[in-house]
Amino acid sequence: MDALVDSPLGWLSVGITLLFGAIVLYVADRSLMGKVNVLLWSLLLTLLGLLCVATLGAGGGLGVFCVGSLVSSVFLGGRALLPVGDKAVLITGSDTGIGHALAKHLDNLGFVVFAGVLNKDGPGPEELRRTCSQRLSVLQLDITNATQVKEAYLKVSEKVQNTGLWGVVNNAGILGFPADGELLPMGMYRQCMEVNFFGAVEVSKTFLPLLRKCRGRLVNVCSMAGGIPLQRLAAYGASKAALSMFSGVMRQELSKWGIKVAAIHPSGFRTGILGTPELWDKQEKELMENLPADTRQDYGEDYLLGLKSNFPIMSALCDANLSPVLAAILHALLAKRPHGLYTPGKRSYLLLCIFCYFPLWFYDFFISKMPSSDSVPRALRTSEAENKNL
């Protein structure tokens, strides 16, 4: 311990330790338990700092301790959550799936929830009215309808008045029909962009004045398909990629207003976005009616009719437990230092790492081995058969 007593750097390390502990304690969770946890962590860091100085010398000990303090500061800041209080949050697409579960979850935590729904008389909204508290309000909100977006804004403004709106969660979205990009009708591309991108932008722009009042949060539910290419999701993936880029730009631009923006990129979760067998039949009919004759001939009837089998495969690969997504959105809404990007769910990191850090040919090969990629168009089967006979 002589280095600690004799060296100015030793005393400097002790001073930095105490200062760091005081700062962390000041910005910690306001609850008593939160402050106790941070105080214990700070005392542990103090002992670590003294140990580093005693064993590594004043200079080395101070360096090691400063690095440890920086890492722990980021860690503690990321975990600290703000109190719910009377915070109000708007959620789009609350009829089913993630939006429906999130509305229930936030209501149970004490939020004032505005649940935007496509059909206010549907079973999902009715369940929200029956099971949730009086704080929750169901709003008719087709995000592709500018009039309904404006009406929702007026209703929310009237209720929150001068307190503003703490959060907007752009969750509403559609998947469309999973098929090769060449096969999808242009109407499917436009519909995905209209709902998944333009609708979210419309809602964001409309409600930003209310977010600005309380320096709130904008949370956009994107998709893993918007960050990495996945076969047969060209329309959906392109629209979610646009939303992801919009989120990144808004994160930078809105920071000067104190508004924090987060993009959620879930992997596969079992929600209402897959639709119903009746919707699949309708989308399949639309696809078949819009195909040029030569394209239909090249792909073959069996290939085209087999596209609908992607739905059960996708459903089987999806996780029914939505809690990772709900936890990510809650962190984005309440964390003192929310992340700009969240990737909840199984396999999300695996695919993202392969796409980012491996050669593209390896990623393409990996994707080609997935269950939904094993069917082959008629023209390619015929060509392969002819080559074998030569």
Residues labelled catalytic: 236
Count CA within 13 A, CB hemisphere, residue 332: 31
Which residues partner with 81 through β-bridges? 335
Tally the residues of the chain: 390
The Cα angle at residue 299 between residues 296 and 302, in degrees rounded to 5: 95
